[in-house]
Amino acid sequence: MQRVAIIGASGFTGAEFLRLCAGHPEFEVVAATGETQAGTRIADLYPSLAASYGEMAYVPYDDALLDGIDLVFMGLPHGHAQKIAPAIRGKVPHIVDLSADFRFDDPEIYPEWYGEAHVAPELLEDYVFGLPELFRDELPGAELVAVAGCYVTTSALALAPLLKAGLIEPTGIIVDAASGASGAGRPPKPNTTFCTIDENFTAYGLLTHRHTPEIEMAVGRHGGAEAQVLFTPHMAPMNRGILATCYGRPVGSPTTDDVMACLADAYADEPFVVVNERIPSTKATLGSNSAQLTARVDERTGTVLAIGALDNLVKGASGQGIQCANAVLGLPEDTGLSAAGLYP
């Protein structure tokens, strides 16, 4: 049994870590931190977790919490993980971080896209990128894992095999993606209130969204070429889910059969990726660690179309974090994770 601490467990991704760990046969959560919720019972903040966590309460972070811990999951906002990671490293065998703080090898990317200097650039090259279907070989035994972002996972799963197979050009890629409101986190914000979200659909982060360089990195690294992506995110009136509609310029004259076969071959042995002609939907992935993909070639406009859907809190965050942790520890990657979604 692995003794687990979740740092930043009071947010949505932290709550999802708690939910998934409760059903994991090898993980025992012994500490859950939440600075703003310290002293609050987990069950009072998230009644859905009452049966699993009883009287367990959130505690403030303290180094002493790490004594005897085998694995730390970090669900902190961007900018916070880098402040405590140097102190945690070496005190626990493995850290799996959901923030963007350690996803990039180049320390200059962070200030350019996140607006502030990185405070622990010396650790960047020590983290491996957590997207198992594309970068599995880096995970076994890894000490430090930076889990891929939700938009990034959806887009990269749809596009990276096509680039690797030489079916699309690395430049001129367009990604239009929509996310549920949970992607903005638990704390209330003016743009995520019910009256703002309900019956509304809007774009945001035009030309500057921080997932842009990460999408380019993931697609390009797997595809073997420097990718160029125009990314436009949208907020959709739903709780969970991401749908990414991706466009690429074809190389040669691929057909729909070619691009579908490429994706099917790439993910033939992957338990959490479904490839078929059905149009992916966020509802089909709800609560699961699965991604659903399809692709088409529009000969009329000379465009390759690839679409992906997943649950932003599971395969897009905490579920993928647990999948990475399983790989790190030598467990089957599907341990404690469901490939089946909830419906209705």
The rounded distance, in Å, linking the Cα atoms of 241 and 250 is: 28
* Burial class, 268, CB count within 10 angstroms (exposed 0-12 / middle 13-18 / buried 19+): exposed
Contacts 24+ apart (CB under 8 A), 63-68: 63/87, 63/88, 63/91, 65/5, 65/31, 65/33, 66/5, 66/91, 66/92, 68/3, 68/30
Angle between helices 150-164 and 212-223 (to 10 degrees): 30
- Residue whose tokens read 């004259």: 253
Nearest to 227 by CA among 149, 161, 266, 169: 169
The structure tokens listed for 202 are 């809007």
Is 150 a residue of the active site?
A: yes
Active-site pick, 150, 246, 262, 324 = 150
Distance between CA 136 and CA 259 in Å, rounded?
23
For 111: left if phi > 0, alpha if psi spans -120 to 50, otherwise beta; the answer is alpha
Distance of alpha carbon 151 from alpha carbon 209, whole angstroms = 11
Please identify every residue annotated as catalytic: 150
